[in-house]
Chain A
Amino acid sequence: MASTPSKSQILSLFRSLLRTARDFSDYNIREYTKRRTIDGFRHNRHVSDPSSIAAAYSDAESQLQIARRQVIVYSLYVPKLKSVMEIKHA
Chain B
Amino acid sequence: MASRLLQTLKTTSPTCRLLSHLSTATAAVAAKESYEDADGISMKGVKISGRPLYLDVQATSPVDPRVLDAMLPYYLSSFGNPHSRTHLYGWESELAVEKARAQVAALINASPKEIVFTSGATESNNISVKGVMHFYKDKKRHVITTQTEHKCVLDSCRHLQQEGFEVTYLPVGSDGIVDIDQIRSAIRPDTGLVSVMAVNNEIGVIQPIEEIGKMCKELGVPFHTDAAQALGKIPIDVEKMNVSLMSLSGHKIYGPKGVGALYMRRRPRIRVEPQMNGGGQERGIRSGTVPTPLVVGMGAACELAMKEMEYDDERITALQKRLLNGINAKLDGVVVNGSRERRYAGNLNLSFAYVEGESLLMGLKEVAVSSGSACTSASLEPSYVLRALGVDEDMAHTSIRFGIGRFTTDAEIDRAVELTVQQVEKLREMSPLYEMVKEGIDIKSIQWAQH
Contact = CB atoms under 8 A, between A and B. Distances in A.
B155 interface: no
Interface stretch (B167-175, B333-341, B404-412): B404-412
A79 B342 CA distance: 39
A84 B52 contact: yes
Interface stretch (A11-19, A46-54, A63-71): A63-71
Contacts of A29: 62, 65, 407
Contact of A73 (B52, B53, B68, B412): B68
B311 to A, nearest CB: 7
Interface in B403-427: 406-409, 411-412, 415
B50 A84 contact: yes
A39 B406 CA distance: 14
A1 interface: no
B48 A84 contact: yes
Where chain A touches its partner, the secondary structure class is helix
A66 B66 CA distance: 7
A85 B40 contact: no
Nearest to B65: A70
Contacts of B62: 28-29
Interface in B44-87: 48-54, 62, 65-66, 68-69, 72
Contact of A81 (B50, B66, B68, B409): B50
A28 to B, nearest CB: 4
A84 B53 contact: yes
B72 A73 contact: yes
A84 B36 contact: no
Interface of B: 36, 40-41, 48-54, 62, 65-66, 68-69, 72, 311, 366, 406-409, 411-412, 415
5 contacts: A31-B407, A81-B40, A82-B50, A83-B51, A84-B415
